[in-house]
Chain A
């Protein structure tokens, strides 16, 4: 009887994994209503995304209901730009975001102001800074 229960659980595990894999490769039309609503800014380009990119986007849709209205609005606003960033840029952003999370409120506020100032620099100046800067995380795992 115990063996039977274990076999059932193992099968459920396998089916669960298979279901998740199928979900990650789902076309736009196959997404749920809730997923389509969250990922609406990506509707046009969804079917051109690679499976691992879709997986990341579906993770966003999964966490979306846990957010408040302000966070949801920010996600909607930033999603398109996020999907167009290169895997390298996204990985750098994740690591820098983790560092940002560990800062004090005062430091976070200071960084926000600095970002505003940086935005006011001419685009040519920002391009020069980017070109002259070395890669931050040259050995990052990209996806």
Chain B
């Protein structure tokens, strides 16, 4: 109990000291400010105005950027991220693109091989025999008959 009281008393003392220091700093700044001439005051005011303007315009830009992303142009944000990622992993990106090209070729080949009935089998099963298509004489005879 006694230890706790001593600790609280110490904290109060520290707070009082800090408060006093802050009060002294403010008084010092006030007294120095009162000694500034009109030109110095104006320069400080201009600098403050520029700083505030810079801060507000930066905040407006950030707000617009986040608003854009929020409104569905998330692709812009994603594009930046993916672009950065692929730039950092060029070898992997190259391999990925090569694999996509190879797989596309393979898929196209398989599609043609399995799904389009254009092989010689369908020619052989046609209404006319293959000789009819290959015979040059038949073609010439058709032109005259």
Q: Is the pairing of A and B real? A: yes
Binds A, one of B4-12, B15-23, B33-41, B92-100: B92-100
Q: Which residues of B contact A40 (CB under 8 A)?
A: none
A109-140, CB under 8 A of B: which get 1 and which 0?
A: 00110110110010000111110111110000
Range for the number of chain A residues in contact with chain B:
35 or more
Contact in complex: B136, A136 (CB < 8 Å): yes
Asked if B62 is at the interface (CB within 8 A of a chain A CB), the reply is no
Q: Which residues of A contact B13 (CB under 8 A)?
A: none
Contact in complex: B140, A133 (CB < 8 Å): yes
Q: Which residues of B contact A112 (CB under 8 A)?
A: 127-128
* A129 (CB) vs chain B CBs: closest residue: B137
* B96 (CB) vs chain A CBs: closest residue: A6
Asked if A64 is at the interface (CB within 8 A of a chain B CB), the reply is yes
Known contacts A66-B117, A93-B123; decide if A129 and B140 are in contact (CB<8 Å).
yes
Contact of B134 among A64, A79, A89 (CB under 8 A): A89
Q: How far is the CA of A85 from the CA of B117 in the complex (A)?
A: 22
Contact in complex: B106, A115 (CB < 8 Å): no
Among B117, B130, B142, which residue has the most Cβ atoms of chain A within 10 A?
Answer: B130
* B100 (CB) vs chain A CBs: closest residue: A6
Q: Which residues of A contact B120 (CB under 8 A)?
A: 56-57, 59-60, 82, 90, 94
**Min distance, Cβ A35 to any Cβ of chain B, angstroms:** 12
Contact in complex: B136, A60 (CB < 8 Å): no
Q: Which residues of A contact B108 (CB under 8 A)?
A: none
Q: Which residues of B contact A74 (CB under 8 A)?
A: 124-126
Q: How far is the CA of A31 from the CA of B92 in the complex (A)?
A: 41
Q: Which residues of B contact A66 (CB under 8 A)?
A: 117
Which 8 pairs from chain A and chain B are nearest by CB? A129-B137, A71-B125, A130-B137, A96-B133, A93-B133, A63-B121, A133-B136, A89-B134
13 contacts between A and B (CB under 8 A): A10-B102, A13-B102, A56-B119, A66-B117, A72-B125, A90-B120, A93-B123, A94-B123, A100-B133, A111-B128, A128-B137, A132-B140, A136-B139
